[in-house]
Structure formats: C-alpha cells, structure tokens
Structure 1
Amino acid sequence: MYRAVSSILQKYDADMGAAEAHGIAAGMLCVEHKVDAAGWLHELFTDQNDLFDEDQTVLRELFEGSRNLLDPDNGEFSFDLLLPDEDEPLADRVEALRVWCQGFLFGVGYAHTDADWPGDSAEVMRDLIELTKIDSDAEGEEDEAALVEIHEYVRAAVLTVRDQFAEYKNTTMH
C-alpha cells in the first residue's frame, strides 16, 4: 500500500509522500472520526478533480481503512502507520516516521483548532513534536531497535489521542 500511495502522490506532484499523507489522515480521524475524505484529499492536492478514479479510489480506501482501524468501538489495536517496508533503507524508514509524525500533528491541528487539549493528548502531542526533530541519519542494529520502539510508541500515542478526543466529545455533548 505504501508504494501504491507514494506513486499516486508523485504522479500528481503532491507536496508530500505517503507517510506524511497518512499521518494527516490519522490526525484528522483521531480528532473527528466522522471527517470526510474530501477534506483530506484537498490537503494533498490543490485540485483533486484531476485525480483518475482508480487513484482516488486507492486514496479513499486508505482513508476509510484508517477510519475503521481508528474506530474507538473497534477495540482492536490493529491500526498501524503507513511506512516503508522493512527491506527499505533504515534512514528512509526513520525519515518516513519523522514526516508521519509531522503529518499527524498537521491533521490534528486541521481538525482541532481549540487551545484546550483533552487529557494526556497535550503531552503526547509534545512528544510527537520532538519526534519531528529526529535525525534520519540512522544505521545499525541499535538504531533499528530504536525505530521499532518509537514506531510502537507512536502507534500507542495515536490511540491515546483518539481515545482522549472521543472521551472529550462524549463529556462535552452530554
């Protein structure tokens, strides 16, 4: 899926790669689970009407698949970040994780303009901001192990943000 999304984004000269695009989608969905894919596509492309139907379908499937995996009622911990495969160079995977976090922060900010952050989400967001500063010049087993740990932390952080916003919405609506 990563390669397919990357090639679509490249084909239409999007300003970002697959990891960052998916981060934006995840951020938007964590804050507002009912957000429309059209808003996301608008952030990716100045004119989404130029997209071929099959390309738009792939992107919408990624967005809707992410929505399903981030559904608070799903209960499963099956959501994952869209990153390059393990056979890609470590530096490329670290860079993809860095820009994924950048995209996630943008997506959350896109959907949540209020200065108040529910629960632990403010702390999580500060951690993710720090991760946007990581050096992608990585090599060796230690850096590989660190990437795996950071990846797992970010997955958990995403679900924390999702849960905090879901809880926040439930308490403010009743």
Structure 2
Amino acid sequence: MPQLPTADEVAEASRALELGATVPELHGSLCGWLAGGGEDTAAWLARVLADPAAPAPPSGSALDRLRQATATQLADGEFSFQLLLGDDDQPLRQRAQGLFDWCRSFLGGFGLAAGAQPPLSEEGAEALQDLARLAGASVQEIDEDEEEDESALSELEEFVRVAALLLHGDCVLGPRHRRTLN
C-alpha cells in the first residue's frame, strides 16, 4: 500500500509550485474531493483548488504520492486512512488549528465533487454537519491540563477520520456497490 509522504515533503512541494496552501488544507481538499466522488486524477490540484491553471504534480512527486496514497487509503476496507495534519511535534494549538483547517478544506473539496445534494445516509448527513461545525471552530486558550487537551484532540482527529470514511462510503463505495449489484 502506498505511504503518505511526510508533512515536510508536502509543504516543500506546495512551496515549489507556489500554491499558498498548508499541508492540512491540501490534504483536506483532496480527501473531500475523493470522498465526494471526485475523479482520482493526476490533475487533482486543478480540481480541488478550482483553478484550471494549477499544474498537475509531477509523477512520483510528494503531491502525486499524496493523491495515490490517499485514494488507496480511502478505498481500503481495512480503515488504514490517515489524516495528514502536520508534524506531531508542533504545539497543541497549532495542531488543533490544522485539524480545523483540514475540515474546512475537506468541505470545500467535498462540495466541489458531490454537489449540493450528495447521496448521504442519515449518519453521513450528521457527520457532514459535525465536520462543518469543526470547520467553523477556532482554537481557544489551552488549559493548564495539556494531557486532557491532547486526549481531546486525539478524539477529534479520530472522529474526523471516521467521518471522512463514512462520507466516502456514502458517495463512492455505496453507489459503486449498487452498480455492481445491478
């Protein structure tokens, strides 16, 4: 199974292409695009950034590997999907903001691919609403109890990971399964 490139590799590739998007924003947009039924294509940047002038990442580059690994992880029945939010050694506040940025970008990519009325289950609709709430959140002051905040952030990351898989299941795997049955 293809491995996600590191956050540093994605950040460097983004700078090289002068994209102006952070690692969580790029990965969130890509995940939303794929989860909403968007085409897995080498020209994904133009699609998820809604910019036809955006270049296709060179084959084998960090951004190309990001697309390949993400598409594989989303389709994998073993729940291997991971969020690429940045370095784990960043301060808690920065990692939390990265998660909110990821959610906001996920919604943008998802909306571009799935449209206004995606075929969502009740659980999928709730997950999408919860992601929208997280996308609108901002980081509050960090308490004295950083261990509790670390635990809360881990729980939020796991929720977001599962929500993305659920939405991918509703919009991509479900319709694909129904087509094979017919």
The interval holding the TM-score normalised by the smaller chain is 0.7 to 0.9
> Does 2:147 correspond to 1:141?
yes
> In the aligned structure 2, how far is the partner of 1:2 from the partner of 1:129?
24
State the match for 2:18 in structure 1: 13
Structure 1 equivalent of residue 33 of structure 2? 28
Matched pairs, number? 170
Mean CA deviation greater in 20-29 or 117-126: 117-126
Name the structure 2 match of 1:40.
45
Which residue identity is paired with 2:129? R
Scaled by the length of structure 1, what TM-score is found?
A: 0.85
CA deviation after TM superposition for structure 1 residue 50, in Å = 8.8
Give ranges in structure 1 of 5+ residues lacking alignment. Answer: none
Matches of 2:52 and 2:94 in 1, distance apart? 26
- Judge conservation of contact 1:94–1:138 (CA < 8 Å) in 2: no
Question: Displacement of 1:78 after TM fit?
Answer: 1.1
1:36-115 correspondence runs (5 A): 36-44=41-49, 47-49=53-55, 53=58, 57-71=61-75, 74-115=76-117
Deviation at 1:36, TM superposition (A): 1.5
**Conservation of the 8 A alpha-carbon contact between 2:28 and 2:106:** yes
More helix by share: 1
For 2:140 and 2:17, the matched residues in 1 are separated by 28
Tell me how far 1:18 sits from its aligned partner. Answer: 0.9
Q: 1:153: which partner in 2?
A: 159
Match of 1:167 in 2: 174
Shift of 1:79: 0.7
CA distance in 2, matches of 1:66, 1:11: 21
Q: Structure 1 residue 114: deviation in Å?
A: 3.9
Normalization by structure 2: what TM-score? 0.81
In 2 relative to 1, CA 50–64 (structure 1 residues): closer, same or farther, beyond 3 Å? closer
Secondary structure in 2 aligned to 1:37? coil
